Amino acid sequence: MRSAPTPPRFAQRLLRWFCAPHRLDELEGDLDELFQDRIKSVGVHRARWRYLRDVLSLMRPQFMRRQPQEYPNPSHMDMLRNYLKIAFRNLVKQKAYSFINIGGLAVGMAVAILIGLWIYDELSVNKSFQNYDRIAQLMRNRTINGETDTRAGLPIPLAQRLKDSYGESFRHVELAWWTSWHTIKLNNQVFSKSGKFMTPGVPEMLSLTMLKGSRDGLKEPGSILLSASVAQALFGDANPLHKTLTLDNTMTVNVTGVYEDIPAGNSFDDVQFIAPWALYAASTPWVNEAKDDWTNTSFEVFVELAPQATMADVSAKIKNLLANNTQVNPALKSEVLLYPMARWHLYSDWKNGVNEGGRIQFVWLFGIIGIFVLLLACINFMNLSTARSVKRAKEVGIRKAIGSRPQELIVQFFGESLLVVALAYVVALGLVYIAVPLFNQVADKHMTVPLVSPLFWVLGLGFTLLTGLIAGSYPALYLSSFKPIAVLKGTITASQFRGSSIVTPRRVLVVVQFTVSITLIIGTLVVYRQIQHAKNRPIGYSRNGLISLLLNVPHYEQQRETVRNELIRSGAVLEVGESASPLTEVRSTNGGFNWEGKDPTLQVNFGTIGISHEFGKAVGWQFSQGRDFSRKLASDSLGVVLNESAVAFMGMRDVVGKTITWTGNDFNVRFHVIGVIKDMVMDSPYEPAQPSIFFIGQTPGKFLTMRLNPERSPQASLATIGEVLKEHLPEAPFNYTFVDEEYDQKFRSEERIGTLASLFAGLAIFISCLGLFGLASFVAEQRTKEIGVRKVLGASVADLWALLSKDFVVLVSIAFGIATVIAYYSLHNWLQNYEYRTDLSWWIFAIAGVGALVITLLTVSFQAIKAALVNPVKSLRSE
């Protein structure tokens, strides 16, 4: 027996799924009846089809809509909607309060995001190099008079020794000459570019992205690799491959490759070209002579470790390579160590031969500041929410009375804080977007907001949730703990909200806020004082109108007299001097000095600066004893000028006329001292000047220092100098720098910290004041009646102002006390980094304290006076 035909099961299930339950019975009945009829009239097959069509035709909203019930049974969605509605109503009703909350949080979050981006940027420096974790630079420790210093200069034969004896530990051992400015000549155009001379394995080691040519381009001595930007500057869009250039007017090179610029901010970002080491050695006699000399530690060595080798192991193995060499002076206790690329950027300081500190301190410092600024904004939120909670008490009471459990109220208030935080986050993103260009300028960065990075959004979401939880925790837990009977009976009144149980934590939070703010203010003041202190230091020469020029010209000695005479004759400059080091840096230090009465155990390391006769006159150095070099006295070519530090180091009183001998590998010179100058600040302005010796150089100095004629405009003078140089030294590009600008560069990193710190301090105090403003307005509102009664009884406006302000002044004073201790301790430690430092005067603290107090009073007084001026009739008549 065949079973009765059935309608399509799928259609039945579909109907049961979408159809409202109260209509289902009736519609299914109709469908069934029609189905049975149609089996008879049109057959099973078509009946089933029609059944499906009918079901589909029933898919209309009117059949899906569920029947409204007489007694609503609210779902989670309904309660959430209610929470949202109440939250929005509260935000809109209390506009000032919402503004303070959202605005303050947004600023705090924006600061935290900016700092987060900055830290991310700092931590990712150099990570674009593929072999980032296996590249290292070799460093050398040496001990002079008990002090260990660490430098990157190493002898050339060390590289070969590493390859021969420890070849299995390294994939690359590469020699390099320091990144420096060189002239590149193309046809008759001369360019000045900074670059390096390195051995052929370097492009592979640094994983350079070759746009043209290959990484093997340095194998031939007469070759050069250009960065994309230099190739563009030299050749425009033409193909630079196989073009011929002249380097430093002596070396002829063929372009064998173009590599993508190394991104700014990374190591080697200033390497605009790479030329072969062999070329440099062949064209520079003293480098060629140093190829087997273990004592000439003038060169850089970079290595890439083999995959199985670790930095620590290799560092330990090669430690005594220099000390074991017979040529090296054993008294120096030389050690060789690896300086991993991962540490180059953030850990650049060396203390007693150990690599520690550097920018990482700022990463920590700013990280902590970011967290604190965000914390300040969260504290505002907590304070204002709990303070405002008196207004929400009735709501909590009613919610509890009609069945809300505490955890539901916690969800509600957390939700409310998450809503506010989410709004603040949106505003903060906008602020960050606007502030990033400015921040880049101040911090010298190239950051962008990574809007396309999913990581950024995930972090942003997590960050919002975290902030919402921190900011919302206290109000949520506090509000949900109200006893409904007490609240609704009115036994919890305004006065109880001023009771100690809630006011004390609020006071603690205000104290925390102002402690952070005042500490930041003191910190900013001290950073600026320190910079100013170093800037005001006597520098021993006059930098106004002084320009400096690097010369890379062959046979300059044939032209030097003409050039100098022509320059002076043109009236553009007063004097021209030559030196081997630029005025803002000591490039060469040497030992081997001896004098009568020298303590034999004393190890000498003098800055040695070869100069021309007129150098002193050009820079305007100041003599404390003796006299300057003179061309008229032939004996002056073996005369030397010392600086005061050197004299102090030698421990002699009347040094003028004494003999100093300088013994090197293959030379021995007897100098006589003709003068002593006041210390010139050539290196760090925060450190004492290095003991230095100035002598007449055998070869002309590479740096020309010119004193511009102050009676003529600098522009005109520069134009004249350019013409004179072009006429007599056509191969030299006129790339001058102003010495005072170079000098100011030394303050950049400190100034940057100062600017950022003041920015953050300003924002911190702004956020704190916003919170204080909100609290003060709340307190004034709470005490409206009290103020009215007091006024009726004869209180003056001043009395009322004092009444309302007193509490806050006490809090800020406590904060000031705590901040003083913290700031003194941390700043004292910071200043220890500088040899030449300002003192922590009491008045800095006084200024910060008084400033904070004044700002507090201004903030609070606005509300206090507003409240005190209200007519008591109005405030007492209400209700």
Partner 1 sequence: MKGTYLGEFEEVVLLAVAIRDGDAYGAAVVNEIEQQMGRSVNLGAVHSALHRLQEKGLVKSEMGGISPERGGRRKRLYSVTAYGRRVLEEVRQLRNQMWDAIPRTAWS
Our CB check for partner 1 shows the closer of 64 and 458 to be 64
**Would you say 105 and 424 are in contact if contact means Cβ atoms under 8 Å apart?**
yes
Shortest Å, Cβ 47 to partner 1: 12
**Would you say 323 and 177 are in contact if contact means Cβ atoms under 8 Å apart?**
no
Q: Which residue type, as a one-letter code, is found at position 144? A: I
- What does the DSSP 8-state code read for residue 154? B
Binding mask 751-790 for partner 1 (x = CB under 8 A): ----------------------------------------
Q: Which residue type, as a one-letter code, is found at position 758? A: S
Shortest Å, Cβ 414 to partner 1: 45
Shortest Å, Cβ 117 to partner 1: 58
Contacts with partner 1 in 44-63 (CB under 8 A)? 50, 53-54, 56-60, 62-63
- Give the Cα separation of 344 and 340 in Å (integer): 7
- Give the Cα separation of 102 and 91 in Å (integer): 10
- Give the Cα separation of 142 and 660 in Å (integer): 24
The reply on whether position 36 binds partner 1 by CB under 8 A is: yes
Shortest Å, Cβ 433 to partner 1: 52
Contacts with partner 1 in 360-379 (CB under 8 A)? none
Our CB check for partner 1 shows the closer of 32 and 220 to be 32
Token pair listed for 236: 């425009």
Token pair listed for 755: 């600017």
Give strand pairing partners of 693. 608, 642
**Nearest alpha carbon to residue 776 among 855, 849, 847:** 855
Shortest Å, Cβ 49 to partner 1: 11
Q: Which residue type, as a one-letter code, is found at position 740? A: D
* CA distance readout (Å), 255 to 190, 213, 275, 322, 443: 16, 9, 10, 37, 36
Our CB check for partner 1 shows the closer of 47 and 706 to be 47
Our CB check for partner 1 shows the closer of 33 and 147 to be 33
CA 413 to the chain's CA centroid: 37
Shortest Å, Cβ 391 to partner 1: 46
Our CB check for partner 1 shows the closer of 9 and 242 to be 9
Q: Is 436 exposed, middle or buried (0-12, 13-18, 19+ CB in 10 A)?
A: middle
Shortest Å, Cβ 71 to partner 1: 22
576 Cβ neighbours under 8 A, 6+ residues apart:
563, 564, 567, 568, 614, 618, 704, 705, 706, 707
Q: Is 289 exposed, middle or buried (0-12, 13-18, 19+ CB in 10 A)?
A: middle
**Nearest alpha carbon to residue 415 among 385, 449, 455, 375:** 385
Contacts with partner 1 in 3-32 (CB under 8 A)? 25-32
Stretch binding partner 1 (CB under 8 A), from 33-41, 112-120, 287-295, 398-406: 33-41
**Nearest alpha carbon to residue 141 among 297, 353, 400:** 353
**Would you say 209 and 259 are in contact if contact means Cβ atoms under 8 Å apart?**
yes
Q: Which residue type, as a one-letter code, is found at position 213? A: G
Our CB check for partner 1 shows the closer of 55 and 757 to be 55
Shortest Å, Cβ 57 to partner 1: 3
**φ and ψ at residue 305, rounded to 5 degrees:** -75, 155
Our CB check for partner 1 shows the closer of 19 and 868 to be 19
**Nearest alpha carbon to residue 492 among 409, 381, 383, 400:** 400
Binding mask 62-101 for partner 1 (x = CB under 8 A): xx--------------------------------------
Shortest Å, Cβ 51 to partner 1: 9
CA triplet 520, 450, 108: central angle to 5 degrees?
25
- Give the Cα separation of 727 and 563 in Å (integer): 9
Our CB check for partner 1 shows the closer of 37 and 313 to be 37
- Give the Cα separation of 291 and 160 in Å (integer): 10
Q: Which residue type, as a one-letter code, is found at position 84? A: L
CA triplet 416, 422, 425: central angle to 5 degrees?
145
Shortest Å, Cβ 4 to partner 1: 11
- Give the Cα separation of 160 and 155 in Å (integer): 10
SS3 state of residue 523: helix
Shortest Å, Cβ 464 to partner 1: 47
Other CB atoms closer than 10 Å to residue 153's CB: what's the count? 16
Token pair listed for 472: 């919302």
Shortest Å, Cβ 41 to partner 1: 9
Shortest Å, Cβ 69 to partner 1: 18
Shortest Å, Cβ 72 to partner 1: 24
Our CB check for partner 1 shows the closer of 2 and 60 to be 60
Our CB check for partner 1 shows the closer of 24 and 86 to be 24
Our CB check for partner 1 shows the closer of 6 and 713 to be 6
Token pair listed for 793: 């009884």
Our CB check for partner 1 shows the closer of 30 and 313 to be 30
Our CB check for partner 1 shows the closer of 54 and 781 to be 54
Our CB check for partner 1 shows the closer of 45 and 806 to be 45
Our CB check for partner 1 shows the closer of 31 and 696 to be 31
Shortest Å, Cβ 19 to partner 1: 11
State which of residues 6, 10, 18, 37 lies at the interface with partner 1 (CB under 8 A). Answer: 37
State which of residues 8, 14, 20, 34 lies at the interface with partner 1 (CB under 8 A). Answer: 34
Q: Which residue type, as a one-letter code, is found at position 569? A: R
Query: Is residue 21 within a helix (H) or strand (E), and if so which, with residue range?
Result: helix 21-42
State which of residues 5, 10, 16, 33 lies at the interface with partner 1 (CB under 8 A). Answer: 33
The reply on whether position 797 binds partner 1 by CB under 8 A is: no
Give strand pairing partners of 210. 259
The reply on whether position 235 binds partner 1 by CB under 8 A is: no
Shortest Å, Cβ 43 to partner 1: 14
Our CB check for partner 1 shows the closer of 47 and 173 to be 47
**Would you say 621 and 557 are in contact if contact means Cβ atoms under 8 Å apart?**
no
Contacts with partner 1 in 116-175 (CB under 8 A)? none
Our CB check for partner 1 shows the closer of 24 and 360 to be 24
Shortest Å, Cβ 390 to partner 1: 51
Site size toward partner 1, by CB under 8 A = 22
- Give the Cα separation of 512 and 502 in Å (integer): 16
> Which residues would be at the binding site for partner 1 (CB under 8 A)?
25-34, 36-37, 50, 53-54, 56-60, 62-63
